[in-house]
Amino acid sequence: MAYLFTSESVSEGHPDKISDQISDAIIDHFLAFDPNAKVACETMVTTGQVILAGEVKSSTYLDVQKIARDVINRIGYTKSEYMFDGNSCGVLSAIHEQSPDIIKGVERDHPEDQGAGDQGMMFGYATKETENYIPLALDLSHRLLKELAEIRRENRDITYLRPDAKAQVTIVYSDDNVPEKIHTIVISTQHDDFGPEEEMLAKIKQDMLSILIPRVKAQVPESIQRLFTPDIIYHINPTGKFVIGGPHGDTGLTGRKIIVDTYGGKGAHGGGAFSGKDPSKVDRSAAYATRHIAKNMVAAGVADEVLVQVSYAIGVAHPMAIYINTYGTAKINLTDGEIARVIEKIFDMRPYAIEQRLKLRFPIYEETAAYGHMGRENEVVTKTFYSPDNASLTLDVELFTWEKLDYVAKIREAFGLH
Numbered residues of the known binding site for L-methionine: 55, 98, 250, 281
* Residue set of the binding site for Mg(2+): 16
Closest CA to 352 of 286, 290, 401: 286
Report DSSP state, residue 159.
-
* Residue set of the binding site for K(+): 42
On whether the CB atoms of residues 221 and 139 are closer than 8 A, the answer is no
* Residue set of the binding site for ATP: 14, 164-166, 241-242, 250, 256-257, 273, 277
CA distance 383 to 167: 30
The four Cα atoms 209, 212, 218, 223 give a dihedral, to 10 degrees, of -60
Question: Which residues partner with 306 through β-bridges?
Answer: 126
Task: Using DSSP bridges, classify how beta strands 305-312 and 321-325 pair: parallel, antiparallel or unpaired.
Answer: antiparallel
CA distance 88 to 384: 24
* Residue set of the binding site: 14, 16, 42, 55, 98, 164-166, 241-242, 250, 256-257, 273, 277, 281
Question: Which residues partner with 66 through β-bridges?
Answer: none
> What is the number of alpha carbons within 13 Å of residue 288 lying toward its C-beta?
33
CA distance 368 to 398: 12
CA distance 214 to 222: 13
